[in-house]
């Protein structure tokens, strides 16, 4: 089937149609993976407004969004608060237990989850759930296990592409609304 980003196999859209929870990594997915450090230890990250719009629209469409990241950052906490993301787990290098806790909390099964990542810490979660998504510039081993690889690289709209894919499969894309943030 043709999506906004290119041709996607119907089996991917069938998986996306079941999604009730999108779980995202941060570095290399929401951002381009680079971390800017100032002389005084200040850390900066860049986030794309397209991704912000996608997350807000996806949440409004009825799909929950969660973040599981290996690092801790006030920047990430502030960004997710601005996007109305209620489920944020930081400092979790072993991500599967955090994913399983979210599943129990939300009473969601693996077949109702999509996970988007870019590197090896994400692989175990991607294999555990229904729809494993790798960003276009993900590590080759992660792309190999992913069900779907975005056309767009991390930090440059891969999250938006994922949100659009889910909403298109669930026939909610036309009603997408919100503010770009």
Tokens 């109305």 correspond to 84
Environment class of residue 140 by beta-carbon count within 10 Å: exposed (0-12), middle (13-18) or buried (19+)? exposed
- State the Cα–Cα distance between residues 110 and 128, nearest whole angstrom: 7
Q: Rounded to the nearest 10 degrees, how much is the dihedral formed by the CA atoms of 126, 147, 62, 52?
A: 80
Residues linked to residue 66 through DSSP beta bridges, in sequence order: 23, 87
Q: What is the pLDDT along the chain (181 residues), one digit of tens a residue?
A: 888 899 999 999 999 999 999 999 999 999 999 989 989 988 889 999 999 999 999 999 999 999 999 999 999 999 999 999 999 999 998 999 999 999 999 999 999 999 999 999 999 999 999 999 999 999 999 999 999 999 999 999 999 999 999 999 999 998 876 656 6
Overall pTM > 0.85:
yes
First to last CA, the chain: 30
CATH topology of domain 10-175: Rossmann fold (3.40.50)
């Amino acid at each position: 089937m043709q999506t906004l980003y290119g041709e996607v196999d119907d089996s991917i859209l069938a998986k996306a149609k079941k999604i009730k929870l999108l779980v995202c990594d941060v570095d290399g997915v929401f951002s381009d993976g680079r971390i800017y450090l100032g002389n005084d230890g200040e850390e900066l990250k860049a986030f794309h407004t397209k991704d912000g719009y996608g997350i807000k629209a996806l949440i409004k469409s009825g799909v929950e969004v969660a973040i599981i990241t290996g690092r801790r950052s006030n920047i990430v906490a502030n960004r997710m608060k601005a996007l109305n993301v209620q489920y944020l787990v930081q400092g979790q290098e072993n991500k599967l237990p955090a994913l399983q806790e979210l599943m129990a909390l939300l009473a969601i099964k693996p077949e109702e989850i999509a996970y988007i990542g870019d590197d090896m810490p994400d692989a175990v979660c991607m294999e555990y759930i229904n729809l494993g998504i790798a960003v276009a510039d993900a590590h080759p081993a992660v792309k190999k296990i992913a069900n779907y690889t975005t056309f767009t690289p991390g930090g440059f709209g891969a999250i938006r592409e994922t949100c659009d894919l889910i909403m298109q499969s669930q026939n909610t894309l036309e009603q997408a609304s919100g503010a770009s943030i």
